[in-house]
Amino acid sequence: MSAERREGRPTAREGVERGRAYTREELERRRAEFERRRAEFERRRAAGEPLLAPPPPDPASAPSSGVSNWNIANALTMFRIALVPVFGWLLLMHGGDNTGYRLGAVGVFALASITDRIDGDLARSRNLVTDFGKMMDPIADKALMGMALVGLSIIGRLPWWVTAVILIREVGITVLRLLVIRHGVLPASRGGKLKTFLQAIAIGLFLLPISGWFDVVAWSVMLAALAVTVVTGVDYVFRAIRLRKNSERSRLRRARRAARRGD
């Protein structure tokens, strides 16, 4: 008796036979799986359903499903939008030369900026994240910042070129969000939040009726905000391209094209 037999191991011949049996079983299993998938494919095509199975849910975006848009977080976002004309009126009264109105504008701007932080924290902590909120939150930020920048330029506190650079970026990103909305929502990034924070600080400093050495501090923060504004703008463009490329809509279109080529 060989050593293999003594140790209870199969002979080479038996090993080959077992391998063949395993191969046959594996082929049968794969053939059955293929037939099952083909039947599912035909069923979906006959029913007009998407031919590709939906991707697994993304934990980061999962809270948005099944949550009503009528919630406190979205209400604060809309309240912030309602504060924009009030802020603009206070800032532009008497050409921005009235200290009382200017301080009132600073107060409204600070209140709106605080609600920006609160609504985001509430949405995340209470599971109130919605696609509506993801879309409206950055729009509210842009409306407030846009009014502040234009108002400061009108009263001569901020050069128009600064306002132009920031607004072109903000309007461009807003248009980009709308262009890719069919493929998904492009939420604000961490860099975008940093940009908003720096812009809020810089604008708040320019809003204060103080000049002289204070302008050096305000300009330092504003230049940092400008740099982050440009960098995050480029980042949003690349994120939009990835979103469009990897969306379910694009995958389905590619699958249909591949199916037509196969026919």
Interval 83-132: pLDDT, tens: 999 999 999 998 888 999 999 999 999 999 899 888 888 888 888 888 88
* Cβ-based neighbours of 72, under 8 Å, separated by 6 or more: 119, 122, 126, 128
* Cβ-based neighbours of 93, under 8 Å, separated by 6 or more: 101
Look up tokens 């729009």; give the residue. Answer: 139
Same domain, 134 and 190: yes
Flag whether pLDDT at 58 surpasses 70.
no
Q: How far apart are CA 251 and CA 247, in angstroms?
A: 6
Same domain, 227 and 137: yes
Flag whether pLDDT at 200 surpasses 80.
yes
Q: How many domains are contained in the chain?
A: 2
What is the per-residue burial (b if ≥16 Cβ within 10 Å, else e) of 160-194?
Answer: eebbebbbebbeebeebbeebeebbbbbbeeebbb
Same domain, 26 and 136: no
Flag whether pLDDT at 168 surpasses 60.
yes
Tell me whether residue 28 is in a domain. Answer: yes
Q: How far apart are CA 14 and CA 12, in angstroms?
A: 5
* Tokens coding 228: 């982050």
Could you tell me which residue, 247 or 83, shows the higher pLDDT?
A: 83
* Tokens coding 179: 């262009």
**The model scores a pTM over 0.85:** no
With beta carbons less than 8 A apart as the criterion, state whether 191 and 231 touch. yes
* Tokens coding 146: 């846009």
Q: How far apart are CA 47 and CA 105, in angstroms?
A: 58
Q: How far apart are CA 13 and CA 31, in angstroms?
A: 27
Flag whether pLDDT at 55 surpasses 90.
no
Q: What pLDDT score was predicted for residue 64?
A: 47
Same domain, 8 and 91: no
